[in-house]
Chain A
Amino acid sequence: MRHAEAEPAKPPGDAAPSGPAGPGRSRRRALTGLLAQPAGALLVVIVAAITVPQYWLFLATSVLVSAVALLGLGIVGRAGMNSLCQLSFAAVGAWTVAQLNVWETPGGLIAWTLAGGLAAMPFGVLIGLPALRLRGVHLAVVTLGFAAAADVVISAVNFPGVDSYQQVLRPGFIATDRQYFVYAGLVFVVAAVGVQWLGGTRTGAAWRAVRFSERATAASGTGVAGAKLSAFALSAFAAGLSGGLLAGQVGMITAQNFGTISSLALFVVAVMAGGEYVGGALLGGVMIMFVPELFRRAGINQDWANVLFGVGAVHALSQGSSVSEGVARRLRARRPAAVPAPRAPVDGGTPPLGTEPLLEVKGLSVRFGQVVALQDVDLVVPEGTVMGLIGPNGAGKSTLTDALSGFLPSATGSVTLAGRPLGGLPVHRRAAAGLRRTFQQDRVPTGLTVGAYLRFAAHRAVPAGELAEVRAFLGCPPPDAHVADLDVGSRRLLEVAAALLARPKLIILDEPAAGLAHAESLALADRLVEVPARYGASVLLIEHDLDMVRRACARVVVLDFGQVIAAGPPAEVLARPEVARAYLGDEVALT
């Protein structure tokens, strides 16, 4: 399992089922893979604790302390957010431990450290709250502001116990520095296993999805707020643990341990080493502690370390990947995932004409300022059918999709799905109510494997067999392929597969064939015809490729200038002169 690094370990009971090895063996392999590395790491820690000289061991403990904080930074990093106040969270953890020590609270250092992690979590959520509205640069400014403010506060007020020279007490079994090193190693390994495990869950996938696209995350039924807040809270938890570890290690803590610039340096090192990977977090910890130390021993000013980190981070960003990500990518390139052959068109039969109304839209209007994007649109999508929605560029097709899926709360009119009014529901609730959509732009999160993405987007526990069935139906790549390595066409199919796996009542496909070859578009059309019968969902297909629309749809609706101008069977509708004028455009009028 040399891949365990690059690929978040899967929960044991949920292991990858496909491949010639069969489910049983691969499950066992996944299980040993999950346990082998931590066991190995612990072995290294114990051997080091016995052999390494005391002085270096103290430094090595500091490495583990920093590595735990870096693991936390990696979590917010996965979710695409920059946190410049990781050490402020660590200070909360250290503070908690110092205070509980002064109070002589029962439970001892280990319980206090846990409490420190927990105490940091509300602060994480607090800083995460602005992240619901702010992103990127603005969020970075907030976190830096928080780091500086926290710096001011903890400099102004001494840590508990400092005035009375009260050292943080260690329990007897981790009293010596050697024992404490093993304890720190254990904490790191547990935290690392936890982070890896979380990365493989739907929550972990949601973090990566949020990083790639918030809209797509919400559209696949996952609340963006929850994903962001959980990332910040867990990141702060890790930082709090690290602060608690530090308090136990040095006994007496001061504000200098948690300076603003140190937080920035930690961020820079995380960028360089790759805090999203366990190996990267460890490497980052090693660099933070050992690089200045080596400089000192070589008689070089320790400040060169930060210069080196700055240059290293710039270099890493110019390469587009951290050290760890580069390694992971190279490992992956050695074993490229097989890309399935494109499917040839197989006649899927006649498109079924549904009877019962599923989606009912009445008087839907959307304005953007002075511009009327949709005006009094009435639309019924029957149950068990494939319906086409066509119209020239700018006719309002994507606006309609956005309005139906809940991205435009200002839309007026009523939308009901299977009798249930959707008005006022946020995007992810509409998804949960059975309305799924895909995006015109490529919105499949890179950084996930095909399997992880499908499980995440399905938003329910999917049996392995079902996953394989849907993949085979559309011709998607194998579950261990990385989305980042796929071409645009495969990603579009993957997005459709994910929507099918969610078992919705209605799927809105926004130009799913963009990026597919013509023959593949037709093959997709044939598959879509089968969707109502196979998966019990109606399809609303927005597409420019009229061949595909003719092939897949039982009915089409034509939109022009925000209004429905025609509806009916494709052959009949496309023959109408006003449709020809609106949709086929000026070619007809000109020649």
Chain B
Amino acid sequence: MTTVTDLTLADVAVARGGAPIVRDVSLTVPAGEVTVLLGPNGAGKTTLLEAIAGVLPITSGRLTGGGADLAGLDRVARARRGLALVEQGRTVFTSLTVAENLRVVRRGAAAVDRALELFPELDKRMDVQAGLLSGGEQQMVVLARALAMGPSVLLIDEMSLGLAPVIVRRLLPAVRSLADDGVAVLLVEQFATLALGIADTAHVLAGGRLTHSGPAAPLRKSPELLHSAYLGEAAAS
């Protein structure tokens, strides 16, 4: 079983419930880099991540990872090859305790320990049912659970949603250091300026198409460029 080390999308289109949501998306997510995907609500960012992870099928185009075609693999097979998606919306297993949430993925205690280093808050909560945690704590569990898989490609949908700023500030460098260790990271994030701070490459998705692709640095330095890429025509009104 080959490990998925990076991602390449070529002219990918994705539909949800029969309606086309994402069209003609071509991008790469190289190992060792943070790629950030920005865009307004409803642009299709979540849909694209779900298609990469195998939750939704790709209607056309090619999706390859580590040189191999991923389209024929279901989501379980993709996960086993090292692809991890952190879904939006605090998807903890509510009836399991925090410890059980981490144990259920079972990729060795070392990965779990490393994940917990990032979230010392969880240490005291290990035997609490995840459903009883606050929203922010649940988000930490979800992130730690993905890290416990020891992924080689990490897709994160709205990581900062519901997290206190102080935690977000701690997390972003952690994501950066994951990438520095060789993980390919694709980050969807509503706080554009923050995400750009750790990203190598940025793509902007609007209305289901990529409206901007390039290095992150120029966008970081020029809010006007970001604004026009982000909001498109809507910025005018």
Contact = CB atoms under 8 A, between A and B. Distances in A.
Given A345-B237, A519-B233, A591 B19 contact: no
B120 to A, nearest CB: 21
Interface in A494-529: 514-515, 517-519, 522
Interface string B85-111: 000000000000000000000000000
B228 interface: no
A586 B169 CA distance: 11
Contact of A586 (B19, B40, B168): B168
Nearest to B165: A586
A47 to B, nearest CB: 43
B193 A591 contact: yes
Contacts of B214: none
Nearest to B231: A518
Most buried by B among A514, A519, A586: A586
Interface string A479-490: 000000001100
A446 B186 CA distance: 36
B136 to A, nearest CB: 11
A590 B191 contact: yes
B72 interface: no
Contacts of B169: 590
B165 A518 contact: no
A514 B233 CA distance: 19
A10 B191 CA distance: 52
Contacts of A487: 19
Contacts, number: 37
Nearest to A590: B165
Contacts of A514: 42
A544 B41 contact: yes
B135 interface: yes
B207 A517 contact: yes
- Interface size for chain B: under 10, 10 to 19, 20 to 34, or 35 or more residues? 20 to 34
**Interface size grouping (class) on chain A:** 10 to 19
Contacts of B162: 393-394
A547 interface: yes
B1 interface: no
Nearest to B20: A487
A488 B191 contact: no
Nearest to A544: B41
A589 interface: yes
Nearest to A487: B19
Interface in B164-205: 164-165, 168-169, 190-191, 193-194
A303 interface: no
A56 B109 CA distance: 73
A586 B165 CA distance: 6
B19 A488 contact: yes
A553 to B, nearest CB: 17
A22 B62 CA distance: 50
A515 B21 CA distance: 11
A586 B135 CA distance: 15
Interface in B1-39: 17, 19
Interface string A247-258: 000000000000
Nearest to A522: B237
Given A394-B135, A590-B194, 7 more contacts: A515-B42, A517-B42, A522-B237, A586-B160, A586-B164, A586-B165, A587-B193
21 contacts: A345-B237, A393-B161, A393-B162, A394-B135, A394-B162, A487-B19, A488-B17, A488-B19, A514-B42, A515-B42, A517-B207, A519-B233, A519-B237, A544-B41, A547-B234, A586-B165, A587-B190, A589-B165, A590-B168, A590-B191, A590-B194
